[in-house]
A = this chain, B = another copy of it.
Amino acid sequence: MSLRHAILGLLAGGPASGYELTKQFDLSLANVWSARHSQIYPELQKMAAAGWVVVGEEGARGRKEYEITAVGRAELERWLTSPLPERTQRNELLLRVFFLWTLREEDAERFLVDAAARAREIHARLDALDVAIPWDDTRSDLMGRLVLEQGLRVATAIADWADWAAEQISAGHDALHLTDRSPTQL
């Protein structure tokens, strides 16, 4: 599970309350990982029980500030240097593309044209973010820029692919007559 490590990573940047962590998931981490407060609060309790974090200052309105411990830092490092799990990442866009043969050609093509538009929207949103953020030359901001750059590159790749894919489909419909289906194995 990565949620606890995401929290650990955020706390490595300084102590924070569950409320503040929730906001960081909605802002900083929005494009990379998401978590609701209803998941964060219980997780912080488990992490405290495991000794990865401790409650430091308790402020107004029941505010509890969590700090990362030495054990927590060690766990964060262990996680960062352990091999990435190679589980299949689910991709609903591609799942749908796989079954696009069941639609009429024009609907399949529209799907891909929409997908291209969506990818370009995401690119534009990330571009705007990049401009809006007052990046400095800290190492943490460098990493933020690296993350954003991957977002931009992948969005571009997907937009270009979707354009190309839409063409492949329309190329089929005025040239040869393709049959409806046959069992496939990707």
Q: Are B172 and A142 in contact (CB under 8 A)?
A: yes
A174 lies within 8 A of chain B by Cβ: no
Contacts of A181 on B, CB cut-off 8 Å? 13, 138-140
Q: Which residues of B contact A12 (CB under 8 A)?
A: 99, 102
Least CB distance, A68 to chain B, in whole angstroms: 10
Contact assessment for B87 and A34 in the assembled complex, using a CB-CB cutoff below 8 Å: yes
- List residues of A (20-62) whose CB comes within 8 Å of B's CBs: 27-34
Residues of the B chain whose Cβ atoms lie less than 8 Å from the Cβ of A153: 157-158, 160-161
Max chain B Cβ within 10 angstroms of own Cβ: one of A34, A138, A151, A160: A138
Whether B182 pairs with A141 at a CB distance below 8 angstroms is yes
Instruction: Given A87-B34, A186-B28, decide whether A142 and B160 contact each other with a Cβ distance below 8 A.
Output: no
Interface check A80, CB cutoff 8 A:
yes
Interface residues of A in 48-95 (CB under 8 A from B): 73, 76-77, 79-81, 84-95
**Contact between chains at B182 and A136 (CB < 8 Å):** yes
Interface string of A3-29 (1 = CB under 8 A from B): 001100100111000000000000111
Q: Are B146 and A165 in contact (CB under 8 A)?
A: yes
**Interface: A107 (CB within 8 A):** yes
Q: A128 at the A/B interface (Cβ < 8 Å)?
A: no
In the bound complex, residues from chain B placing their C-beta under 8 Å from that of A139 are 101, 172, 178-181
Question: What are 27 A-B contacts with C-beta separation under 8 Å?
Answer: A2-B90, A5-B95, A27-B185, A28-B186, A29-B95, A29-B186, A33-B88, A73-B102, A80-B96, A80-B107, A81-B107, A84-B92, A84-B118, A94-B150, A97-B143, A98-B144, A100-B143, A133-B185, A137-B179, A138-B181, A138-B182, A139-B172, A139-B181, A144-B185, A144-B186, A145-B168, A154-B161
